Amino acid sequence: MLEGLDPEQREVATALNGPVCVLAGAGTGKTRAITHRIAYGVRAGILHPSTVLAVTFTNRAAGEMRGRLRQLGAQGVQARTFHSAALRQLQYFWPKAIGGSMPRLIDRKIQFVADAAAACGVRLDRNELRDVTAEIEWSKVTQTVPADYAPAAVKAGREAPRDPAEIARIYSGYEDLKRDRAVIDFEDVLLLTVAVLQDRHDIADQVRAQYQHFVVDEYQDVSPLQQRLLELWLGERDNLCVVGDASQTIYSFTGATPDHLLDFRARHPGATVVKLVRDYRSSPQVVHLANGLLAQARGRAAAHRLELVSQRGPGPEPAYTEYTDEPAEAEGAARRIRELIDAGTAPSEIAVLFRTNAQSETYEQALADAGVPYQLRGAERFFDRPEVRKAGVALRGAARFGGNDALLDDVVDLPSQVRAVLSGEGWTSQPPAGSGAVRERWESLAALVNLAHDFAAARPGATLADLVAELDERASAQHAPTVQGVTLASLHSAKGLEWDVVFLVGVAEGMMPITYARTDEQIEEERRLLYVGVTRARERLHVSWSLARSPGGRASRRPSRFLDGLRPGSSAAGGARAAAGTVGGIERGVTGVGTAAAPVVRRAQRTPARCRVCGRTLTDAGEMKLMRCEDCPSDMDEGLYERLIEWRAEQARLTGQPAFCVFTEKTLMAIAETVPEDAADLARIPGVGMRKFKRFGADVLAICAGQDPAGVTDDD
């Protein structure tokens, strides 16, 4: 069961008692480590399968974990999402804890939020409904009640899609409506399970008797509500293994926080902390860029970043390409992808990753024009989006009956006609504030406005009817096979996935970081989002940006600040120095009553020895003792060296040992070259161990100072 695991993964697999925190960098085999941990415990008879509960955040991840455990012979282990595990317990204990039948669980809360808003006299469109719903979900996972929403949103730096007091009223009305209709939502599942376990100690004891060992994956994404549920599952016990990476925290807008991961050692002073930094996914060149991205990061998560070490063979350097405009960037990516496919790369092993879903349309069209099949992940196809379809209907109607439309009375050119029509669908000349559905809807409509500009420039004299025909042709041309296609995905939806080749597109200021990221915390989350994108690539990485939006446009854009000092020809912003990352290894906690003693480092990565003359990395043991290459010039004090040789001969005679057992000649040469002035200088010289330092240190320092040594007597 332990074969094939590296030393750190093996430590994860065998540390089955007490709290364990696994800090796992991207591509370091964390799922392999924790599934082997569970399977090893089961196969060794230490863990009973039915007493183990492994929780993660997506059904896909839970299913993958169950599959791996079955392959490893650990059937019977529960691997579920937080919601699935809580729902199972709530359904079982509802008759005993509350009585009667459990309320119906609603799949989607949009309609309930709409009804609650209407009851409050507030009219919300579809996109505002989605944003307000997101605010209600955030409130519930952060355990914020309606009365506290407004101050909590301000404290968290959230940009509310409506007046906070208005959202609080809708939130309160939503809760009342659910109660009246006897239904619950997914957040209620967690809240009610927490309430039952808090109020009914007999039920809590029954759950704790069932589950005695817990594993939590993606721990950096835990919300306060999920953390509270986990604490209730645990009780006073500490058989808990958590796995996460603070540098991959990209869902803070949903209530996720890395604080639980970063504070784990403070809550569990006796915890074993294992750091996985051996990257088995990406080439050294990709890993170097990933490390460089985080080297300039700031904040608490950055202070705990992991320095990845690639375990793969060398690959090509990341490619950086600057384009004149967005269409040229999309066409360039499509052209390279076509070449890769023609050379034998499977389309399913290629991904194009972008910051916002609204960017997909340009790449959908470019890939379709190049005859490249593609599939969209985590987003609707551009022309299938409701706002785009509705806009198409409006444009088609204007093309047919525009003569009777007052909006078009004073406009003559095609772009102005499109702007006038789409203004009735929510398009404005300035983008809305915030990052929610309203912004995404605006970006979709803005993409149509931009398309009209480009179409009119390419076909002077084109009419609105011509544009509608063009839109229809584009929509039909994008019906490409989706099974073996190139993946188009937003950076958020790419989390947890990997490809041989990744194209990171639109990596320019205003998009990465996104315009509405203003605070230091928001900027750092954008940096982490780009880091996640980079670490999706196994072999090849293409990074690109464009200077203008459309052909002939003003070249006012610049590459993302996150690439400063990393891409060729750029320098680090402000001359900032890269911060050192955390190395891999294992730290064992020191247990004790009422104390949180400092960890004992069992294994740490050594700094490479370098020649003090030419700076070359040293590998020969003799050269490492001298701290210089054999061929590099020596500045040894010849007289001091001779005195040390004479002293060593006398010590060997007195102690009856061979001379090299006192100090080797290489160690004496190193001493004569560095001429240590104090104990600290002498102790730093390779070959001067603690035992020899205690026995001979005073004599050696005396000789270096030109004094007579005290010497060693025959009695010694």
Is the link from the previous residue into 658 a cis peptide, with omega within 30 of 0? no
Q: Collapsing DSSP states into helix, strand and coil, what is residue 285?
A: helix
Is residue 394 marked as binding? no
Residue count of the chain, please give it: 716
Is residue 28 marked as binding? yes
Q: How far apart are CA 466 and CA 459, in angstroms?
A: 10
Could you tell me the two tokens for 592?
């004790």
Q: How far apart are CA 77 and CA 442, in angstroms?
A: 46
Name the H helices within 15-48. 30-43
Q: How far apart are CA 98 and CA 196, in angstroms?
A: 9
652 DSSP assignment: H
Is residue 378 marked as binding? no
For CA atoms 209, 211, 213, 214, the dihedral sign is: negative
CA atoms within 13 A on the CB side of 47: 33
**Which residues make Cβ contacts (< 8 Å) with residue 284, sequence separation at least 6?**
310, 312, 314, 315
Say what angle helices 186-199 and 224-234 make with each other, to 10 degrees: 40
Is residue 26 marked as binding? yes
Q: Are 586 and 272 in contact (CB under 8 A)?
A: yes
Q: Are 43 and 69 in contact (CB under 8 A)?
A: no
CA 506 to chain centroid: 19
Is residue 617 marked as binding? no
Q: Say which amino acid occupies 223.
A: S
Q: How far apart are CA 113 and CA 129, in angstroms?
A: 7
Determine which helix (DSSP H) or strand (DSSP E) holds 126, and give its type and residue range: helix 126-141
Is residue 24 marked as binding? yes
Could you tell me the two tokens for 13?
């697999």
Binding-site sequence positions: 24-31
Binding-site sequence positions for ATP: 24-31
